[in-house]
Structure 1
Amino acid sequence: DAAGQAFFNTSPFTLRDLKSVTQNEQLRQDFTAYLNGFSKNVQEIIDKFKFRNQIPTMIEANILGSIIEKFLDPQINLSPIPVKDADGREILPAMDNHAMGTVFEALILKFNEENNEEAGEHFTPREVVSLMAQLLFKPIADDIESGTYLLYDGACGTGGMLTVAEDVLLKLATEQDKEVSIHLYGQEINPETYAICKADLLL
């Protein structure tokens, strides 16, 4: 908090440290300590995903170490910041909210195939979100004034509607030579999608 960071981890470990731990029980203890080291806002995300409940299963199946290695794979970028080479060329694109939402949608579709549920309640395609934001703000573009705007989504899912609407409003305000400050608000009943949304807003 004192450093002004959105979140932090006070454990003595990084994921890269844990990659070298080969004994399962030690890995379980160290990984749990790593999770426990995150700030309170991240703890809520971890709790909503019930992530700690999965640790014994991953240890028993001897896959926790492999999963950590996957997260550290240099060919995978889960950051909202693109990976660039020394010349500034983009090597790996950033993982934005909608990219993460697409991953989540694929997982939902996979797990819901067994009980014939639909993923539509969890994720709205990016094209639809973009169109909705344009339809909402374009007609009032000339009325945008400098100031503070509050955007609210009563069923925000992974938060894609909010972040795209923010981008559209900022772009239109810039075109009108207006300076705006935007605050995003939302609520979501599904704990996993809520956690994705909160994680995205923290980043």
Structure 2
Amino acid sequence: MEKKKKKLLDADTWKRDAHLVETTLTLRKELGGDLFEDYNLFRDRVDDAIKQLDLKFTAADLKTVLRAVSWRVETAPPVIDKLLKEESDALHGRYPLSILGQSEISNRKSKIRSVSFEPDPNPRDTEQNSFLEAPSSGLPGDLPSEATAKVGIEAFIRREILPYTPDAWIKADATKIGYEISFTRHFYQPQPLRTLEQIRADILAVEKEAEGLLDELLKGGA
């Protein structure tokens, strides 16, 4: 809280915001009021205008501005993230260049093999699947190797996810392969339950104590 208050009272914060507003208005004047139904074309126009006008945006500020004037449309073209040199693999989010229009492919096409898109954050989800999905690895105890674990993950996605969400893909850098150990199950030692005889003895002892207290109260009242 104190850090935010200090930043709010810092004159440089207001100068930066004023500069950002002024620069954004200049960009707005250059682009006009046309509606871009393709975010990729809009982003290209913005980049061209920034270079032409020699405007200065940090990457974070530019992203904030673009998101502020954009909104999600289900039927809009997918937003291009990167042009890649790797071969296409739709299961891992790399799609063939044929999915793009020719005008959207750079003159480096000879080196570019696939394209990736920005994921829609709304339906994003995380799945957990068992090592039982993985094929035999030949390791002791038939524990899966990293390679066979990935095969199991892919098989699970194809069977359980793609039939319902055909454009889903695996985010490789977010995939975690490991073991979930329940420490409670393996290390917790519960106390044995008390027997009925022990419980009955405690109840009788409490009743006897209560009777003794009641007798003392009656004697004191007399």
TM-score, normalised relative to structure 1: 0.23
Task: Compare the two structures and name the one with the higher strand fraction.
Answer: 1
Bigger Cα Rg: 2
TM-score, normalised relative to structure 2: 0.22
